[in-house]
Amino acid sequence: MSGKVKQNAVVDVAGLLGADVELRCAGGQIFRGALKSVGRDYLALERATTGRTTLVTKANVVAIVDERAPGLALAGRRAAEAALDRAEGE
- DSSP reduced 3-state for 70: helix
How many structural domains does the chain have?
1
Q: What is the pLDDT of residue 53?
A: 94
Q: Is 33 among the domain residues? A: yes
Q: Is 9 among the domain residues? A: no
Q: Is 66 among the domain residues? A: yes
60 conformational bin, left if phi > 0, alpha if psi -120 to 50, beta if neither: alpha
How much is the pTM? 0.61
Q: Is 8 among the domain residues? A: no
Task: Please name every residue paired with 20 in a beta bridge, in sequence order, or none if there are none.
Answer: 34
Q: Is 45 among the domain residues? A: yes
Its sign, for the CA torsion 4, 82, 54, 56, is negative
Q: Is 35 among the domain residues? A: yes
Residue 23 is part of which domain span?
A: 14-89
Q: Is 42 among the domain residues? A: yes
| Average pLDDT of the residues in 12-20 | 80
Q: Is 63 among the domain residues? A: yes
Span of 11-20, 53-62, 81-90 with lowest mean pLDDT? 81-90
